[in-house]
Chains A and B, each alone.
Chain A
């Protein structure tokens, strides 16, 4: 019994413990409400089920949040990722819609290449403003958040571009080896970023810059270069997310594609245990954070919570998640409970001393 307790205590000290608990609780609540929630079946050679849907729908958010994690780890923030989603999605759709044969693969790759190039420029612009010119990240990326939305609407000329391209649709709604392609792409990008940061020294350098920029500079780290790089990575991640979002519905709307996704991404990063102050980051934490947010959205629909209260419901859950993650809150909560073994100091009641 006591061994279980000590193991549990050790586990709860792990960074991913509480986010995982929340995710499991959310899934359990859904299952209690509707037992078929956890069932996964194979139809037409594809995996179907609520859980598969949740992962598929969270793929764009996962991508954006991964890029955001690196930006936040350097002590920055990128508000423009939602607009970059829209720019990249719109650009790709525009090119495809103007092509003679929308189903040709060369059209697809040119479209993706153009859009990625645009996202690269967007990310480089953010990186330039933050690292070279030295504008505070929240302001620097706010510029592109606003301007980028306008740019996306310029690309679509204020309309919704509808396309009829099967290969493009695959990115958001296709299946390969029974799994949704969106999930496969998300897994691939996650692995790529994990390898990029943890198999090289990039992760350490990012954490050093975010943890103490001046000490890093004096240790010979090219902090500017690293800061620039993470904004570019965030832009590219956002572009791929933009492809998924527009491919899923085979159309691009400059004004709504990826709208507010930056806020969900920041939330996912924070729920995953990466501090907004920069420093240590956790990619797996962000992954779980993104899944929690998507599960929450699905829960709201599945439980028929009225649209008027759904945002409030989401907010309450997020507050709870953040509170149980906060060491200060947990310490206060723990102090209220009697300690397992009475100590000398705790045995008599605390006395207030007159000042």
Chain B
């Protein structure tokens, strides 16, 4: 790599109240490379990107584009200079059309008025380049999250970008969409665009990235060619210690399904369904049992969870708990029956961003007690302290607004909220999505502990390995229908689940 870097960041430091987010970090990016930025939650990846694009101003350090020092005052200016970003959470307007979203702020104009025909034509052409077949006049909100992500990328690459930053672009995509994205990334790479790629999926890094920069606790660990850094070494550099927790989980013998299901089911759903959401399904969950829910994105996994929690009202079928009928039509009814639900969409359906960590953790318990019976402050502090320690939520400041926390720590806050209510059934929808491997191992270990302690867990994840590692039983979803339920014995592996998902038949 004898060329000049297109982008260099030198000794960047950034401090937030109470957090040293970046400490003298160096970073460089060469034209035509895909460069993975790796690190655990809170390592400083997002902060580094925000400093680069001008969302934050660095306390010290130099950013240079083509050898010239730059200091962007905001994403618009960065974009004009050729640095485009696609963020982890889609930041587009769901009420506008796909075409409008792509061209917001730079619509083609005739005499000052927007040239709608040209705008739609260019949007179509751009999406054709990404081989996406979408109605450009449809409101973006009607598209799936994955399509919205693709539109965000289309928006970013339309501008004559020289540096493209993809912050967790794959966290909501299924495998074929990921492949499509990678094809586009390689195409852009050949055009000489430098791509900064942030992800938590290690396999994806090794599939596309040329080089890897690792951050840990706001410090630079190092910069490595991908070929010279084995996966295990990368994980060690990210965590700073050897991690064999996942391996240990694998070695633990799982209890037999028959033994787990010997008692009366804790919850039994009979022909439960909702039109336009998920076809009627039947399943049982026993105390101490982990039921995995596998399937592609949009296959109806989340919809099953929402029906069981009463977040959506079922229009078909019954739920029985402890052998007697249970009408669960609202979250309040579900919570009263000791069911807890961690949504996959923690920013919209989980947290109240401006409230503190403590307030977010106490919310469900307080809601169950009613507002007239406040939980004494001392008891709150005790509980919150206990769960901040138990789940190692960082920073360990109960009074910090929860929106200042990184994704993984936010996830732990939602978990803590439900754990203090001591539920009998815990529904986890993608609890490990978009969080780093250390936190992921902690959450998986927690699930095992909780189920050993008698809690029933419905575990939803796009990662089959994870589902197989934890579940006693795996329910497979396809096209909003529960196609089969498989006992997780020695004969079940990822390939067989994958084949079931693909064929839609119970094998």
Residues of A participating in the B interface, judged by any CB pair closer than 8 Å: 199-202, 204-205, 207-208, 211-212, 214-222, 226, 279-280, 343-345, 348, 350-351, 353, 355
B401: nearest residue on chain A (CB-CB)? A280
- Residues in B whose Cβ lies below 8 Å from that of A211: 352-355
Q: Is chain B's binding surface mostly helix, strand, loop or mixed?
A: mixed
Tell me whether A208 and B352 are in contact in the complex, defined as CB-CB below 8 angstroms, given that A200-B371, A353-B65 are known contacts.
yes
Q: Does B227 contact A (CB under 8 A)?
A: no
State whether B60 touches A343 (Cβ < 8 A).
yes
Among the stretches B93-101, B169-177, B362-370, B493-501, the one at the interface with A is B362-370
Counting chain A CB atoms within 10 Å of each CB, which of B70, B160, B375 scores highest? B70
Q: Does B335 contact A (CB under 8 A)?
A: yes
- Residues in A whose Cβ lies below 8 Å from that of B369: 201
Q: Does B265 contact A (CB under 8 A)?
A: no
Bound complex: CA A343 to CA B331 (Å): 52
Q: Does B181 contact A (CB under 8 A)?
A: no
State whether A279 touches B352 (Cβ < 8 A).
yes
Q: Does B62 contact A (CB under 8 A)?
A: yes
Bound complex: CA A220 to CA B362 (Å): 12
Bound complex: CA A226 to CA B353 (Å): 20
The answer, among B11, B63, B331, B352, for a CB contact under 8 Å with A220, is: B331
State whether B363 touches A355 (Cβ < 8 A).
no
- Residues in A whose Cβ lies below 8 Å from that of B88: none
State whether A215 touches B349 (Cβ < 8 A).
yes
Tell me the number of A-to-B contacts counted with CB atoms below 8 Å.
109
State whether A222 touches B332 (Cβ < 8 A).
yes
Q: What 8 A-B pairs have minimum CB-CB distances, sorted nearest first?
A: A211-B352, A220-B335, A220-B367, A201-B374, A221-B367, A201-B371, A353-B81, A212-B352
Minimum C-beta distance from B336 to chain A (A): 8
- Residues in A whose Cβ lies below 8 Å from that of B26: none
- Residues in A whose Cβ lies below 8 Å from that of B374: 199-201
Q: Does B341 contact A (CB under 8 A)?
A: yes
**Which positions 341-395 of chain B face chain A at CB distance < 8 Å?**
341, 343, 348-355, 359, 362-364, 366-375
Bound complex: CA A214 to CA B331 (Å): 11
- Residues in B whose Cβ lies below 8 Å from that of A200: 371-374
**Which positions 1-34 of chain B face chain A at CB distance < 8 Å?**
11
The answer, among A201, A207, A214, for a CB contact under 8 Å with B355, is: A207
State whether B60 touches A345 (Cβ < 8 A).
yes
A205: nearest residue on chain B (CB-CB)? B371
State whether A218 touches B61 (Cβ < 8 A).
no
A343: nearest residue on chain B (CB-CB)? B60
The answer, among A212, A344, A353, for a CB contact under 8 Å with B60, is: A344
**Which positions 69-112 of chain B face chain A at CB distance < 8 Å?**
69-71, 80-82
State whether B348 touches A204 (Cβ < 8 A).
no
Tell me whether A351 and B363 are in contact in the complex, defined as CB-CB below 8 angstroms, given that A219-B417, A279-B354 are known contacts.
no
Bound complex: CA A212 to CA B353 (Å): 8
B159: nearest residue on chain A (CB-CB)? A355
- Residues in A whose Cβ lies below 8 Å from that of B70: 350-351, 353
The answer, among A343, A345, A355, for a CB contact under 8 Å with B80, is: A355
The answer, among B61, B309, B332, B366, for a CB contact under 8 Å with A204, is: B366
Counting chain A CB atoms within 10 Å of each CB, which of B60, B62, B335, B355 scores highest? B355
Bound complex: CA A205 to CA B359 (Å): 10
State whether B349 touches A344 (Cβ < 8 A).
no
Bound complex: CA A205 to CA B355 (Å): 11
The answer, among A214, A219, A345, for a CB contact under 8 Å with B367, is: A219
State whether A344 touches B11 (Cβ < 8 A).
yes
